[in-house]
Structure 1
């Protein structure tokens, strides 16, 4: 089982987003048959069987084993990954493209950069899984609290200058056998937690 699988086909993405199928995928972190899943999820076995076939057809679950139980052959499945990410490539022509309107101060551009990151790293992961190799990567995740908007702007300017200096120092367009890499640095405010709905609040009182 993979840690993360990237879904690139629109039909597979649609299949994974079905609420019942997503529950089945989560339950199949531990292998199980249709009968076992029906008991775990409190669903009719016939319905589970139908959804399992669809998930298997799109490569989201795989057959782990078959075993005989009397006159019946029980098929045991498992999810192909512990978690899934839908690549923006599944959206085709309407997927975000950072080349359309590059703007360092635009949140929409930052979102498009993130979408491209998911698409490109997803493609690398898919190819590496087929070749049974690992993907060379590096990431930084940090939080910072600014005292003012002016401090935030100064930080962004200094960060941009530092990254530009590093790129200029190490970039070698003529290096024989060199491999191109992409550097993406983003800065955004952390969203506040979603407030409880009136219904949820009422249920707790």
Structure 2
């Protein structure tokens, strides 16, 4: 079983996203059969057999073994991955496009960057598995609490300057055998109600603000 599976076709996404099938994928992180799943979920075995065949058709579940029980052969299945992500590429022409003109303050542009990253890393994961290789990536995640929107803007400016200097130091167009890497930096407010590492939740920020502050924060969520 892989740690993450990439769903990169519209047909596979359609097969996976029906609620009963996402439940089956969750249940099949441990091997099971239509019979055991029917007893657990309270759904007729014949109905589950159909859904399992559809999941198996697109490689979302895989056969572990077959067991003979009297005149019946019980097929033991498990999910091919412990978790799944749907590549934005399945949306074809309507997936978010990064475009030629960046808008660093636009949520749409941030979503377009994130969508491209999911799509490209997904392609790398699929290709690496076929070739029996590993994918070299790096991820960094954290939180910072700003006192004011002005502090946030200053942080973004300083971060941009620091990253620009670092890229200039390591970027080498002439290196033989070098490989391009995608660098994406993004920042957004934590949605209200989201727990942090300590278990505390982010309060609802929809408190009244002064007209002056409103001009700075009117687009914040």
TM-score, normalised to structure 1, is 0.92
Shift of 1:61: 0.4
Q: Relative contact order: is structure 1 or structure 2 higher (C-alpha 8 Å, sep ≥ 6)? A: 1
| Structure 2 residues not aligned, in runs of 5+ | 195-221
Q: How does 1:1-205 map to 2 (within 5 A)?
A: 1-99=1-99, 101-193=101-193
Query: Larger strand proportion, structure 1 or 2?
Result: 1
Q: Residues of 2 paired with 1:100 and 1:126: CA distance?
A: 27
Contact kept? 1:28, 1:79, Cα under 8 Å: yes
Residues 110, 45 of structure 1: alpha-carbon distance in 2 compared, 3 angstrom cutoff: same
Match of 1:202 in 2: none
Task: Report how far residue 50 of structure 1 moved.
Answer: 0.5
> Contact 1:101–1:109 at 8 Å: present in 2 too?
no
- Report the CA distance between 1:100 and its aligned residue: 5.4
* Structure 1: gaps (5+ residues): 195-205
Q: What is the SS of the residue equivalent to 1:3?
A: coil
1:14-35 per-residue CA deviation (whole Å, 9 max, x = no partner) reads 1111000001110000101110
Structure 1 runs of 4+ with >3 Å offset: none
SS of the residue 1:32 aligns to: coil
Number of residue pairs aligned between Structure 1 and Structure 2: 194
Shift of 1:88: 0.4
